[in-house]
A and B are shown apart, each in its own frame.
Chain A
Amino acid sequence: MRIGKDLVAAAATPVVLGILAEGESYGYAILQRITALSGGELEWSDGMLYPLLHRLERLGHVHAEWRQSDTGRPRKHYRLTEQGAGVLTEQRRQWSVVGEVLSKVWPDDGGPRMRLAFGEV
């Protein structure tokens, strides 16, 4: 299953902010984490993460800093700012509303039409 482009784009900000809420990280590690968390389902081309991170940095949601990695390579590390944490809380609230709505229109047993829609008939 591939998750649609629009949905990936919509989920990108809360996912990235959520990962940064676990602690400071850098681009490659963030992508690894996303892959691990979604079991490889949530994926977008590696490069696309960086413009997103820059947008978040510009908005003040994250703070970026260049550090030296163990291998000697420079690495840009990102960490959540207080403002970013606030945004994350707000996004989380919005996503739970969406989730609740979805869980209501997609009840577990569904009913006949819903079973049809999910190919269970």
Chain B
Amino acid sequence: MAPETPRPAAPTPAGGHGPGAPDELGALVASWRAWMQRHDAVNRADLDELESHLLDRVDALREVGLHDDEAFLVAVKRLGAVDELSHEYARVHSERLWKQLVLDGEAEPGAADPGARAATSDALDRADAAGGRAPFWKRANGLAVALALGVGAGLVVTSATLVGADPAFFLRNATLLVLPFLAAWFVWRHRPPMAAVLAVAGTFVLVGVVLNVFPWASLSAVQAFGGAVADTELLASLGAAVALWLMTGVVYSAGRWRSSDARMDFVRFSGEWLVYYVLIALVGGALSALTIGVFSTIDVDVAWFFGQWVLPCAIPGAVLVAAWLVDAKQRVIENIAPVLTKVFTPLFTIMLIALVVAAVLQWNIVDADRELLIAFDLVLVVVLGLLVYSYSSRDPLQRPGWFDRIQLVMLVAALVVDVFVLVAMVGRTGEFGFSPNKTASLGLNLILLVNLAWAAWLQLGFLRGREPFDRLERWQTGYLPVYLAWAAVLVLVFPPVFDFA
């Protein structure tokens, strides 16, 4: 029996088809197993049983004079059509189609659903699926490592609170304190080449030095995080968050950052991660509130403990746990971000059209104040997010349908809004001069305008059957470095140019 088909259940098949049999049959059976494993309804124990049956049949056929390969073909044929078989298994085991992530799957062999893990192909998972033989840090898709890194991130942030760092320090360094742990997780999980690791580490060091060495103007009217923060400081911190997240993608993609597919994978990861993080935060918040409430009924105040220990540990720790979840359940459960996209794209399109109509009727966007213009930029970012996440899950071979038409409408409406906002921004800049905030949103606006315009053009071409879907996807993944570049400008160029104001 081919050794690369890992066995979960207690009755580990040892001999295969008997001593002395040529390996050809073993290879045939292994490829048959690999093919069968793609069917969600059939798990590994079933395959062991079917394989045993298959080999019984092969033995019988060989006795009447067939060769190994002939006997194998007949035996497979006798098993029946794979689809029908899988359908029948699904009828009996419908729960298997609702894949669950079993955290302690290895504790009890056969209790977990190994088929889910068998579908993943990389070496780590294979070691993982081999069950009890894997060292503990490799079990459950490396949960132990993720947790250790999460605790590390939590401890770093907590110790920063304990030594009494001021709010502005946290604003600047929050991503710097947490994201290296996430990057470390990716390094362990995806084994990027050393050059990629060094590049990312170098970026972290550079951003860390820049953010903490720049002489930020200490007096400012802007209040954030309960303290005074300079405009450029706030922008640089935001830019740093975006830039470092994208750089983390370089280790995520194991150094294949030039590949469009690898970039799209990271985009998928980011969306799923966000959904999981929000879910964990919601449940964590509810649990904390409940705990504080229950203790307060018996006159014990635990709120300080949450403020001082639980939150500083949990908020960074959850970053790692969410990342682990996305990695571990990748193929177990369908992704949720594209589903949300499907639901919200039509609603968002209606909202944009209403906005355009209202703006045309009243013509007051141009007079809108600064916060409103920034809000419009955010709306456009959401439009691009909806677009990219629907791309991320779309079957590239599918013909354009109603959803793609809605996307074109959304893109056109967004373009109109973008032009309105651009006119307003240019008007305000001409009137009041360049401020860091205005310049930053103007730059972002132009970047989005270019992306939206070309995306709309490609979408039109796709609807008319002139562009393959691949080009739409490549345009979006190819655009990621532009965001990185603009974020870098915010971090490195803006502060000195605007005098750290």
Contact = CB atoms under 8 A, between A and B. Distances in A.
Q: Of residues A27, A46, A67, A72, which shows the largest number of chain B Cβ atoms within 10 Å of its Cβ?
A: A46
A50 to B, nearest CB: 6
A63 to B, nearest CB: 15
B10 A72 contact: no
A50 B52 contact: no
Interface residues of A, number: 24
B350 to A, nearest CB: 47
B78 A46 contact: yes
A46 B52 contact: no
Contacts of A74: 9, 11-14, 48, 52
Given A27-B49, A46-B80, A50-B49, A58 B92 contact: yes
**What does DSSP make chain A's interface, helix, strand, loop or mixed?**
mixed
Interface in B1-42: 9-18
A45 B81 contact: yes
Interface in A12-48: 26-28, 44-48
A51 B89 contact: yes
Contact of B15 (A26, A71, A76): A71
A66 B9 contact: yes
Contact of B11 (A27, A45, A67): A67
Contact of A54 (B9, B56, B84, B92): B92
A44 B85 CA distance: 12
Interface string A54-97: 11001000000011110111111000000000000000000000
Nearest to B49: A76
A66 B10 contact: yes
A74 B48 CA distance: 8
Interface of A: 26-28, 44-48, 50-52, 54-55, 58, 66-69, 71-76
30 contacts: A28-B52, A28-B57, A45-B79, A45-B84, A46-B53, A46-B57, A46-B78, A46-B79, A46-B80, A47-B80, A48-B80, A50-B49, A50-B50, A50-B53, A50-B89, A51-B91, A51-B92, A52-B92, A54-B89, A54-B93, A66-B9, A69-B52, A71-B15, A72-B13, A72-B14, A73-B13, A73-B55, A73-B56, A74-B13, A76-B52
Given A45-B79, A46-B80, A50-B46, 19 more contacts: A27-B49, A28-B52, A46-B53, A46-B57, A48-B84, A48-B85, A48-B88, A50-B49, A50-B53, A51-B91, A54-B93, A66-B10, A66-B11, A68-B11, A68-B14, A72-B13, A72-B14, A73-B13, A73-B14
Interface of B: 9-18, 46, 48-50, 52-53, 55-57, 59, 75, 78-81, 84-85, 88-89, 91-93
The 5 closest A-B pairs by CB, nearest first: A45-B80, A72-B15, A66-B11, A74-B11, A28-B56
